[in-house]
């Protein structure tokens, strides 16, 4: 199963302070916007999203159809196909993508320890 680009999405208390911290670890702003309370930061192939006031905890995020530079892949597994495979394997979904649509969609699943995993397709 190809899940696409991987990043950790972190809930932060102060976007400016967190940005400076991760810059000190070698990350650079790749996308996002202070006015929307989030930044996507990159260090080599490693991606993190820092989000202020949008959710609690940490979310493991996968983006079907994208590589780590947000370039569209020539071939990828659509989010709805991934969802169908997980449902077939009796994995409980916290939210679902509408299987009657095409294009951008997402769903959420939790691992056995309660960690949130977001499968978020942007194309």
> Structure pTM?
0.92
Are 107 and 79 in contact by the 8 Å Cβ rule? The answer is yes
∠ at Cα 111 (120, 19), nearest 5°? 55
* pLDDT beneath 70, residues of the chain: none
Tally of structural domains, the chain? 1
pLDDT of 72 reads 96
Are 69 and 120 in contact by the 8 Å Cβ rule? The answer is no
Report the CATH number at residue 80: 3.10.180.10
**Structural domain that includes position 112:** 5-121
């Amino acid at each position: 199963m190809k899940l696409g680009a991987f990043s950790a999405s972190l809930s932060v208390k102060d976007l400016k302070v967190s940005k400076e911290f991760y810059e000190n670890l070698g990350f650079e702003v790749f996308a996002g916007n202070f006015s929307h309370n989030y930044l996507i930061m990159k260090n080599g192939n490693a991606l993190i999203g820092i989000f202020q006031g949008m959710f609690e905890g940490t979310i493991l995020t996968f983006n079907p159809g994208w590589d780590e530079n947000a370039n569209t892949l020539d071939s990828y597994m659509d989010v709805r196909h991934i969802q169908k495979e997980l449902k077939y394997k009796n994995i409980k979904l916290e939210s679902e993508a509408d299987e009657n649509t095409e294009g951008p969609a997402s769903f959420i699943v939790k691992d056995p320890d309660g960690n949130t995993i977001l499968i978020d397709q942007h194309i």
